[in-house]
Amino acid sequence: MDAKKVADSRTEMSQLMMPHHANPGGTVYGGTILSIADSVAYVCAARHAGPGCVTVSVDKVDFHEPIHIGEVVTFRASVNYVGRSSMEVGIHITAEDLKSGTKRHTNSCYFTMVAVDAQGKAVEVPRLIPETEDEKRRYAAGEARRRAARAQIRS
C-alpha cells in the first residue's frame, strides 16, 4: 500500500447558509455545521483511503463565533494523522459575509474516520507523508491526541 501526501486528500467545500439552516434568530444550528463537517471529513478520508470510510468519533469541536443566514461557510479539511486503520481529519471552518467580504474563523473540529471493508471490518490505510512544517506540526499534534485518547480508554 502506497503512502499519500496530505495534499492528495485535502478537501474544501463551501455552502450558503439559508433560513432552513438556522433558528428563528438567524443563527445557524451547530448541528447543521457538524452535519456538513461530517460529509467533508468523509470526502477527505475517502480520498486518502478509499470510499469505505466511517466516522467513529468527533474528537473536538470549538465554536468560536456564530454563523448567520446569508453567510458562505467554507470547510477546509485535511488528514492530519493516520494510524493502522484510522485517520484524524482536521477541519477549519470560516464564514464569509458576501456584502463586506469579511471572513471569520468560526469553528475547528477533529473527526476520527476508520476505513472498513464490505463487511464493516477495519482495514489498513495508506501511510501519510507530511511535507510542510505545518503538516508535520499537525501530524505530531494528531499523534499526541491519539496517544491521549488511548491512555484515557485504558484508565
Give the pTM. 0.94
pLDDT score of 149: 84
Q: CB 145: neighbour CB atoms within 10 A?
A: 18
CATH number belonging to domain 4-154 = 3.10.129.10
Torsional class of 101: left (φ above 0), alpha (ψ -120 to 50), beta (otherwise): left
| Contacts for 92 with CB less than 8 Å, ≥ 6 apart | 75, 76, 77, 105, 108
The residues spanned by each domain of the chain are 4-154
Which helix (H) or strand (E) segment holds residue 143: the answer is: helix 133-154
* Mean of pLDDT values over 6-34: 97
- Residue identified by cell 463537517 is 37
- pLDDT attached to residue 24: 94
Tell me the three cell numbers of residue 88. 484524524
Going by pLDDT thresholds of 50, 70 and 90, the confidence category of residue 84 is very high
